[in-house]
Amino acid sequence: MIRILPTDIFIFILVASGLIFILLARRREYWCTAWQQVRSNHIAMISLAVLSIYGSIALLDSIHFEDKKSANTLSLLDYIVAPLNQQVEKTYSAPFATYQYTKETLELPKGKTVRIYPRLKYAATHLEKSDSKTRDITIRVIKGFLQGTLSAIILTAIILGIYDLFTKTFLRNDPHHGRGKRPSKRTVINIMKISFALTIPLAILIHIAPYYHIFGTDKVGSDVFYRSIKSIRTGLVIGSVTTLIVTPFAIFFGVVAGYFGGIIDDIIQYVYSTLASIPSVLLIVSFMLLVEFGESGGDIAWRADRRLLSLCIIMGITSWTGLCRLIRGETLKLREHEYVNAALAFGVNRLKILSRHIVPNLMHIVLISFILRFSGLVLAEAVLAYIGIGVDPAMESWGNMINTARLELAREPVVWWNLIAAFFFMFGLVLPANLFGDALRDALDPRLKT
């Protein structure tokens, strides 16, 4: 039976809003021109492809089902990667290891006891001898590379076929349709690069992950690679849902303060200046302690998701002031333009002026701020979890993995792969987000255009 958690609703709203924005933006020349500039940037397109993978994983992990057998809440992602979450070892094991990381006492038939590294229960069980592990991994990498290459070629052909069908169906009567509407050689090369960048790593992972623990296992034997994948949804929820909560407040108060001015402007400035003067960490700590004290009812998944939503809300309350300042300043400049004065002279309602002339010309600031703020919020979640006020410990997140690694780095022998896995996946999300945000800023910010 399908089960909807609180943050699932926000994710579906965000996806629907993005699709609606894309459909509306295609009708405006300004957004189409900006997209052409972004599309010509190879790094931006590869970054967008990586972000699309993260987004797809988070979306699959947001479709929840209630498992009647185990009484647990599972997601569609759990069913897709089923071998990973079911292959639980006894305790720590290193990446690609076939033996346990710590020794155990084994009693021999004659009563003698020895200390050995026991063989793992699920990793490399298809091998008779661990000596052939390197050869087996190499063969699987080669197979994954070849399969990924073939898949990339097929994916490129499918994308180009869909594009050609779209142009023939919908642009048949367009007078401008012709040579300029067909994909150029550069576009085809870009599509091939993105296809190869997506399919080859994915194919290699498909060939290796069911047979080896790529990032090892943690203290309770869970696959660290699986935990890292499950943490993607938490990171994206923190970044996107928080920004989704921030944006309406920032737009409303920023536009009202900048357009009307006077005492309204003074009150709004006083409010966000007061909020900005309060240390955000202290405010978040106080709010999360109140939420934790008032938590009752619901199962583990419901309580953890509710705490995640509470964290998004309080982080949104403490971070909307910066965007509000930017929007207020831009509104002060826009209200002096001639087309706004002309609309006032013709007796146009002020509400229509705000909705038709002011807010649409602020969207580039909102979009740029959304992308650039996103990566900062993802990193903030890791910091908050590290100091113990982040998401619920029962929820998978990179912050919880880093917090666990703090103790593991102090033990002997050192367990380092939890920290490396969290760093790798966070780096893989934050870096493309920043690169794509920079490209988007270059395309949309009028001050950077010559």
- Give me the pLDDT at residue 175, please: 46
CATH number for 289: 1.10.3720.10
- Give me the pLDDT at residue 174, please: 46
- Give me the pLDDT at residue 288, please: 76
Domains held by the chain: number: 1
* 303 domain-assigned: yes
* 241 domain-assigned: yes
- Give me the pLDDT at residue 52, please: 86
Question: pLDDT tens digits, residue range 262-301?
Answer: 898 889 888 888 888 888 777 887 877 777 655 555 677 7
Residues of the chain with pLDDT under 70: 70-71, 129-131, 163-187, 292-298, 445-450
* 26 domain-assigned: no
Q: Domain range for residue 423?
A: 224-448
- Strand pairing partners for 217? 93, 223
* 217 domain-assigned: no
**Can you tell me the distance from the alpha carbon of 123 to that of 133, in angstroms, rounded to the nearest whole number?**
10
- Give me the pLDDT at residue 170, please: 47
* 332 domain-assigned: yes
* 401 domain-assigned: yes
Please state the φ and ψ torsions of residue 65, each to the nearest 5 degrees.
-130, 150
Q: Specify the residue for token string 């970044």.
A: 239
* φ/ψ bin of 413: left (φ > 0), alpha (ψ from -120 to 50), beta (otherwise): beta
* 253 domain-assigned: yes
**Cis status of the peptide bond prior to 95, with omega within 30 of 0:** no
Question: pLDDT tens digits, residue range 239-270?
Answer: 888 888 888 888 888 888 888 888 988 898 88
* 42 domain-assigned: no
Residue 14 makes CB contacts below 8 A (sequence gap 6+) with: 240, 241, 244
- Give me the pLDDT at residue 171, please: 46
